[in-house]
């Protein structure tokens, strides 16, 4: 699950998955909406492939990407993402509570 966590932790990678959720796409199509280089987008895609969230088919010279449905049970992914979201918020909250106790807030 760690690799999935890392893969889902980045807004660009989540956006790539959101795009693929609409259907298969070429790497260049995926890269188009992002204000970053094709090379950076490719790095994000490789990370998603390593996490088994995305799979790549080669059709002639084209590389077609799609979501890997077996890579992620959606409900488990929601649970993990939701837990990590709340834990991160609680870390912030506890730090704020401690700051206030020390009179720094």
Partner 1 sequence: MTRRLEPKTVATVVYRFDAPPQDVFDAWLDPDFAGKWWFTSPTSEMNTTRIDGRLGGEYEIVDRRDGITYRAIGTFIEFERPSRLAFTFAMPEMSDAVDEVTITIESDGDGSRMTLEHVCYRDFKEPYESGWGMMFGELDKLLRIRATNK
Shorter beta-carbon distance to partner 1: residue 38 or 98: 98
Alpha helices (H) along 23-73:
27-31, 38-50
Nearest to 7 by CA among 57, 67, 48, 66: 48
Residue 18 is a binding residue for partner 1 (CB under 8 A): yes
Count of residues that bind partner 1 according to CB under 8 A: 32
Using alpha carbons only, how large is the chain's radius of gyration in Å?
18
The answer for residues whose C-beta is within 8 angstroms of residue 62's C-beta and 6 or more apart is: 26
Nearest-angstrom CA–CA distance, 55 and 105: 48
Span interacting with partner 1, options 42-50, 54-62, 83-91, rule CB under 8 A: 83-91
Nearest-angstrom CA–CA distance, 32 and 56: 18
The CB-of-105 to partner 1 minimum distance in angstroms stands at: 9
Span interacting with partner 1, options 14-22, 41-49, 56-64, rule CB under 8 A: 14-22
Residue 28 is a binding residue for partner 1 (CB under 8 A): no
Instruction: Give contact residues for partner 1 (rule: CB under 8 A).
Output: 11, 14-15, 17-19, 21-23, 33, 67, 73-75, 77-79, 81-83, 86-87, 89-90, 92-94, 96-98, 100-101
């Amino acid at each position: 699950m760690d690799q999935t966590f890392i893969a889902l932790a980045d807004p660009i990678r989540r956006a790539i998955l959101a795009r693929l959720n609409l259907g298969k796409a070429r790497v260049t199509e995926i890269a188009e909406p992002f204000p970053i280089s094709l090379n950076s987008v490719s790095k994000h895609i490789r990370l998603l492939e390593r996490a088994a969230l995305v799979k790549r088919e080669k059709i002639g010279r084209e590389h077609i990407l799609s979501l890997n449905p077996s890579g992620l049970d959606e409900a488990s992914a929601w649970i993990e993402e939701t837990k990590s979201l709340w834990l991160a918020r609680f870390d912030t909250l506890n730090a704020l509570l401690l700051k206030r106790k020390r009179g720094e807030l």
